[in-house]
Amino acid sequence: MLTIKTGPFNDQKPGTSGLRKKVTRFQTPGYLENFVQSIFDVAEDLRGGTLVLGGDGRYYNDVAIQTILSIAAANGVAKSIVGQGGLFSTPAISNIIRKYKAQGGIVLSASHNPGGPNGDFGIKFNGQNGGPASEAMTNAIFETSKIITHYKTLQAEDIDLSELGIFTLGDMVVEIIDPVKDYAELMESLFDFAAIKDWTADNHSLCFDAMHAITGPYAKAILKDTLGAPDKALMNCTPLPDFGGHHPDPNPIYAKDLFDKMMLPDGPDFGAASDGDGDRNIILGRGGFVSPSDSVAVLAANAHLVPAYKAGLTGVARSMPTSAALDRVAQKLGIAHFETPTGWKFFGNLLDAGRISLCGEESAGTSSDHVREKDGLWAVLMWLNILAVRRQSVKEIMLAHWQEYGRNFYARHDYEAVETEKANAVMAHLRAQVSDLAGKGFGSEVVKFADSFTYHDPIDGSVSENQGLRVGFESGSRFVMRLSGTGTVGATLRLYIERYVQGPAGLEEDHTAVLEPILQIAKEISDIEALTGREHASLVT
Ligand code: G1P
Ligand code: ZN
């Protein structure tokens, strides 16, 4: 065992989803090691315990796994469970931690960010509930990484990650397991696979785009081998270290081929895509996609049709910038609904306490209490199970939903790679106004409330401040502005626009035109154009 001196690194404040940086940054000697040692210093029960390890297969995944295994062995971890080839989707890791009662897991991914030697890499620690580490733990790891001067490692040959089996590294056992099997079993325990098979056999077609990322092998095993979808239903299902040069982000820009296919008059009945590490999902029907905020609301409204949730949901939660469509369903069902800050970790306590059984974020993340991560393929299977029972098209289901609950039109405007000072200036300008916006009129809208969102965790009492600025109107419309915690270049400002329309509101409605008045008010109040020098967002989803 070696103890190697390393300097502290000061730029490592992990964002909403762990530490994400350029691959080249992670290749700086000591950088990855510093962060990993900090994890072992903070998560003390890993000593003598079990660690789960794997990632989305992006460039540097294999190198990082060997580095982490050596540090784990030197830090007294008794056993590491690693996915074959170093692969695990994020929800699969969450399941493995829970199923095998591990003390924690390390997830290697930069989610939907691009991969390759010039792309991004990321690392995140999940605790024994299978979910992302709490704010307190994330902060402790960050503080440790700023002051540690040494890391421990074991000098040994690399472990061959391609072989299933049990190996040793110093005193640590390394078990290489099939990354798909346990996850596929979990899915089979939740859904009515027979009904989905019947639906597929009954002349319905589906299309799933894995975007050359981790869900490829999971989709092949579940959608094709088990549920009988034909080969042509699977797009880009071979994982590649650079995702074929694309961003593994399931939006209309990066999953264009899938979106184009779904717009064809004779396109598939159902389409879906997942992101780099398999935790996000986008759902499409023939002729259009389902906004993620609507998707979680539809899943909640129909969950009783799915075996795992037939007894009903205990409660639901959404991140603050996610539209209020889910709240309307909860009100009708008479169950609790919670509003948490952005980031999956904030759902963990509510799920562990049994207060909620389903939750989601506007950023294409949805999941339930079956794991402690968002879960892309789970959402796909939820939709397929609902389609198989209701025997209606995606479009019919959406129209019926809006008819019943009203429609929350929604869009997110991202201003990416803005100079940090300019982004901070926009936030400061808006923050300075929120306390006296209430009661003010803008066109036909009157501000009902405006604040900086603070979350009081109802389970552990912790308080998270500065989680985004929100301005709500009497009409139920709203805008929210916050700084991204996952960007790797400059700062990303996210502006979320929502407008509620009661009664029938069809797919044909001009979404952009409906939201335009609120967008203009948001621009006026925040002065985002003048302060950033940008006339438009760089990405609207
Ligand atoms: C983004 C999303 C957020 C999600 C996170 C991790 O974070 O907005 O909902 O939990 O990625 O996937 P942000 O960049 O906005 O901080
Ligand atoms: Zn992801």
Q: Same domain for 396 and 445?
A: no
E strand segments, 95-171? 104-108, 120-126, 150-153, 165-169
Compute the radius of gyration of the chain from its Cα atoms: 23
The ligand 1 atom at the shortest distance from the C-alpha of residue 111 is 12
For residues 231 and 227, what is the distance between their CA atoms, to the nearest angstrom?
A: 12
Contact predicate 226/188, CB 8 Å: yes
Q: Same domain for 155 and 188?
A: no
Domain that holds residue 507: 407-540
CB of 488 closer than 6 angstroms to any ligand 1 atom: no
Give the total number of structural domains in the chain.
3
The CA distances from residue 209 to 373, 376, 511, in Å, are 20, 11, 25
For residues 189 and 157, what is the distance between their CA atoms, to the nearest angstrom?
A: 39
Q: Same domain for 209 and 348?
A: yes
Q: Same domain for 364 and 231?
A: yes
Q: Whose CA is nearest to atom 13 of ligand 1?
A: 484
Catalytic choice (111, 145, 357, 368): 111
pLDDT of res. 217: 98
Q: Same domain for 148 and 220?
A: no
Q: Same domain for 394 and 267?
A: yes
For residues 380 and 376, what is the distance between their CA atoms, to the nearest angstrom?
A: 7
Q: Same domain for 279 and 379?
A: yes
> Any idea what DSSP says for residue 303?
G
pLDDT of res. 505: 60
Which residues of the chain are under the pLDDT cut of 70?
Answer: 10, 12, 504-508
- Determine how β-strand 469-473 pairs with β-strand 478-483: antiparallel
Boundary residue ending a domain (357, 386, 405)? 405
The 10 Å Cβ neighbour count of residue 289 is: 24
The enclosing domain of 456 has a CATH number of: 3.30.310.50
Boundary residue ending a domain (135, 161, 179)? 179
pLDDT in tens, 303-342: 999 999 999 999 999 999 999 999 999 999 999 999 999 9
Q: Same domain for 395 and 533?
A: no
Q: Same domain for 343 and 198?
A: yes
Q: Same domain for 18 and 111?
A: yes
Boundary residue ending a domain (125, 158, 179)? 179
Geometric angle at alpha carbon 511, from 508 and 512, rounded to 5°: 135
Best residue among 347, 361, 538 to mutate for probing ligand 1's pocket (most ligand atoms within 8 Å of CB) is 361
Tokens read off for 107: 């997830």
CB of 17 closer than 6 angstroms to any ligand 1 atom: yes
pLDDT in tens, 439-484: 999 999 999 999 999 999 999 999 999 999 999 999 999 999 999 9
The question of whether 111 is a catalytic residue gets the answer yes
Q: Same domain for 174 and 32?
A: yes
Query: Got the DSSP string for 77-111?
Result: BSEEEEEEEEE--HHHHHHHHHHTT-SEEEEE--T
CB of 363 closer than 6 angstroms to any ligand 1 atom: yes
Q: Whose CA is nearest to atom 6 of ligand 1?
A: 17
For residues 3 and 498, what is the distance between their CA atoms, to the nearest angstrom?
A: 53
CB of 281 closer than 6 angstroms to any ligand 1 atom: no
The enclosing domain of 37 has a CATH number of: 3.40.120.10
Q: Whose CA is nearest to atom 12 of ligand 1?
A: 17
For residues 236 and 216, what is the distance between their CA atoms, to the nearest angstrom?
A: 7
pLDDT of res. 10: 67
Question: Coil, strand or helix: which one is 367?
Answer: strand
Tokens read off for 50: 């079990």
The 10 Å Cβ neighbour count of residue 145 is: 25
Question: Coil, strand or helix: which one is 15?
Answer: strand
pLDDT of res. 444: 93
Q: Same domain for 10 and 112?
A: yes
